[in-house]
Structure 1
Amino acid sequence: MRLLHYGRFLLLSVILFACTRKQEPVKTNLIIATNNGDLYNVNLTTGKLQWQILDQRNNDELTYFTQHNQTILRAYSDKRILEIDKLNGKINWTFIDEVSANQAEYGYNFTGVSHLLFAQYPIVQGGSFIFGNSQGEFKSVDQKTRKINWTHQIHQPIYCSPAMFNNKVVINASSSIKTLNLANGSRIASFDLETPSFLAPVVNENLLYVVDEHGGVYCLNADLNLLWKHQPELDMFQQTKLNFSERDIFYGDTAMVSLKKKNGELNWRFVLPHQIDKKGKNNLLQSMEVIDDVIVANTPHYLLVIDQDDGKILKQKYFGNRETIGQLKYDNGFYYYLCSDNNLYKIDQDLKEETVVARNIRYQTDRAMDDTYLAFY
């Protein structure tokens, strides 16, 4: 009898646990930014455009943006930062960045440097947005009034976004990593890099990770003390961010690499498959996503599903008559990606059933690296 009661109790516990687990809300929309300044909101159920913003300035543009509540903040290379209502595409306001009036007081010479915003996705914190520009200025701006809270000047152009770490602003000054006071922008700590880095620092499980331009990876604590560094045997051309699982770090260029998070030791490395063409870029990693126990990655002509533990390719799809453009994203059983035929596709996890989600998504075709940035909501 006791065994029967115990069995009923165990069954009831399992049912209650299943009922109380939080369900991930189904995401119904995909926002796509392309490198000609356009922005699209696609309904994933119908495949129809909710709205689009066609920039029509013929610029090679940034593709990053930041979602914040019901809005999007997108920076453009020509010094504009826009707040956009992501439900209807209405532009709420435009902020134009200007060089600080007291810039000369810092003593740095930016003569001949064009005033631009590079790979920026403004971070939002405490009612303000924070970004950097090519004039060496990191700025915090009040989101409601668009008044500048503070400016922190460095001696060289800024190539990537800041990050938040333990309520401190982390900035990449190319040859060093610094933390700033969120309230006033004053410097707290600094860590010098042996090789320059041009990608934004990444926070994972209360540690800070930086990858330099040759593929060296640094792991730092909140005080910017070095915990470990990984130096690859072969220099890498690093243009994609670090990705994380519970135990490991993944990144790559023409090869993909897995490191142990606890000490930076190499788990595995393999060269991505490629087909030689006139552009010579077919095996350059464009993006990856870590999903459960696999990694899904894309190069211009390949979509790959890779085992996290040993780096072996489990499944692959080759694109012979078109290329994938920029970022790949996963949601609700499907991988989404834009192709060079200007169509947005999705494909199932077996890489068999591919369908067109939306058509006529435009991007630049005359630059060395075409790009997209995708986000769901």
Structure 2
Amino acid sequence: MTEIRLVGTAHVSQKSVEEVRSAIEEFQPDIVGVELDRGRFISLTQETAEPSVAEILKGGNFGQLLVQWVLTYIQQRIGAETGVKPGAEMIAAIEEAEAHQKPVALIDRDIRITLARFWGKMGIWEKIKLVGALIYSLVSVEGEKIDVDEFTDQDVVSAAMEEFRKFSPRGAQALIDERDAYLAHQVLMLTGRYERVLVVVGAGHIQGVQRYLDAPEMLPPLPTLTAGVKSLPWAKIIGAAVTLLFLLLIAAIAFSGVGIDVLLTALLYWIVINGVLSAVFALAAGGHPLSAATAFAVSWLTSLNPLLAAGWFAAIVEAKIRKPAIGDFRQIIAAETFSEMRRIPLFRVVLVAALTNVGSTLGTITYFLFIFPILGVDPMVVITDGFSNMLQMILGLF
């Protein structure tokens, strides 16, 4: 029968590094499983090729990419405060296993799958709260004394996990519960080949993994933990709805009899409101005036096309001007302050893309909220008369 020992760690704790080394020395496992996937293992142990700017722009997941970078930055800052590099306990486990000539198993789910499922499962409100929390963390992490070793205490960990579940239930499911199950699957695969298995995972996974090891029949099928998130393409649906709503609004104004000047004003304000807010947010991201001008020029059109985004065009112009270089990606990960991060050309390009899209979205919402007060007409009269006149015209054709 295989003997399994779980070691819970904090990812930026010297105490965890020492505990991992001691556990391997004392337990003498036949294999050491570590909470890493191949990509993170390579990034921790050797130089890796960076994605090109073209690949990043083509991916288009600017918000998700920013969240990933900010989370990495926060972890780096905590690591700097404690003097321990993030992932040091995993490196210690690998080095200690190699010193004892024992194999190492990478038992975590691919980080790209985890992030995609994490982002895909969260609702819009959860994403907004997450961004707000990250912005707050960027400020509060500076100079704040954190006792990282507390996060290997199971009571503290359990309380933190419960708070995260309240904050983002679906995010917690992808980031914690699914990975508990995936890690347990991988550990159970090792039990048939080795008598003594030592597993090094974050303290937040200890209870979940142990629960599945005690009752393997409760494990969800492995393929369900790695498949893409199946959900309605809300961005495209909302984009199509905006396009339809705008066209119906313009048609109602055109057929209501309020005059061509009101119709032209409505069209003009669609361009101005979308353009101004997109440009303002591009500039707020530190974008070049030409990038802001591009955002202004295209946002009225991209807001009507669910397949396009103003941020893409602004980012292309920003990339031409800032000229991100090989090495920017690594500099972002290693940045010691958020101000330093913002000065890196690649980060600036992605930030401009993300915030321009936010500005364009707010422009569309603002337009529909305030267009009738701006025009000085009664919306019920315009809509009722407009559609009534359209219906009469259509009936007249037959």
TM-score, normalisation: structure 1: 0.22
Larger fraction in helix: 2
TM-score, normalisation: structure 2: 0.21
Ranked by relative contact order (alpha carbons within 8 Å, sequence separation 6 or more), the top structure is 2
Larger fraction in strand: 1
Q: Which has the larger radius of gyration?
A: 2
